[in-house]
Structure 1
Amino acid sequence: MHKIDSEEQFNQLIQSGEAFSFLKHSVTCPISQAAYEEYIKFAEDFPDHNCYYLTVQDSRPLSNYIAEQFQVKHESPQAFLFKSNKVLWHASHWKITYDSLKKSREENL
């Protein structure tokens, strides 16, 4: 898992065309902490799958940029599956579970 802080870093990922998961995480929210723990388990079990995240408190401009670029209303926590400059899947709050992350990968890649 890698932390992303800038639009430049994010755009490099998007332009690569490769599939990756992305989590918007808040360090002050217990729901977000639960989602983050699920995301960590998923990333550990699928080391061949690229997993990235941002911390909303540190990277609010990037969080807003993603919402605007992909026309997906900002929520936190919020998980995405991107490939070829498209959002293939997204979920927020309690819908971010190990199983939902795994299923999104299986159904879309």
Structure 2
Amino acid sequence: MNLFKSIFGGSEEPNSTSKVGWKPLTDLGQLNEIITTSADKPVAIFKHSTRCGVSRMTLKQFENEFDLEDKVTPYFLDLLENRDLSNAIAHRFGVEHQSPQLLLIRNGEPVYTASHGDIYADDLKRYI
């Protein structure tokens, strides 16, 4: 394994040993599911570019910090595979597209957004 890959990882996403329990976000219809679910339990959406080293490091840091298994329903969006869906999220929730980006949705509305180096799992606790 070369040095770059050992630092930033491979192309497989998200980490298969992650404690986050990601739900893949791959279909526009899931936005309605997210809005409905968020009435009972907040939903986190992590938008990730599998080709970006900053996004990869941010994802790994988030997964290592995450301890909200029973408090948040986490969705994972691969931006390269689902750019149209990412644009729909930006439009529906009124947020500018960023990568990486974390959104916390409660009652169908974004209550917290962060991008790049400002993404921390611990910050979600203040908005749940």
Q: Specify the code of the residue in structure 2 equivalent to 1:28.
A: R
Q: Specify the code of the residue in structure 2 equivalent to 1:94.
A: G
- Is 2:122 aligned against 1:102? yes
Q: Which residue of 2 is the match for residue 14 of structure 1?
A: 35
Larger Rg: 2
Q: Which runs of 5+ in 1 are unaligned?
A: none
Structure with the bigger percentage of helix: 1
Q: How does the TM-score come out when normalised to structure 1?
A: 0.87
Q: Percent identity between the aligned chains?
A: 28
Q: How does the TM-score come out when normalised to structure 2?
A: 0.75
Instruction: Report the RMSD for the aligned CA atoms in angstroms.
Output: 1.3
Aligned-partner Cα distance in 2 for 1:50–1:42? 15
Number of aligned pairs? 104
Aligned-partner Cα distance in 1 for 2:101–2:123? 16
| DSSP-derived class of the 1:7 partner | coil
Q: Which residue of 2 is the match for residue 92 of structure 1?
A: 115
Runs (4+) off by over 3 Å: none
| DSSP-derived class of the 2:105 partner | strand
Q: Which structure 2 residues correspond to residues 21-60 of structure 1 after superposition, within 5 A?
A: 21-43=44-66, 45-48=67-70, 49-60=72-83
Aligned-partner Cα distance in 2 for 1:108–1:96? 13
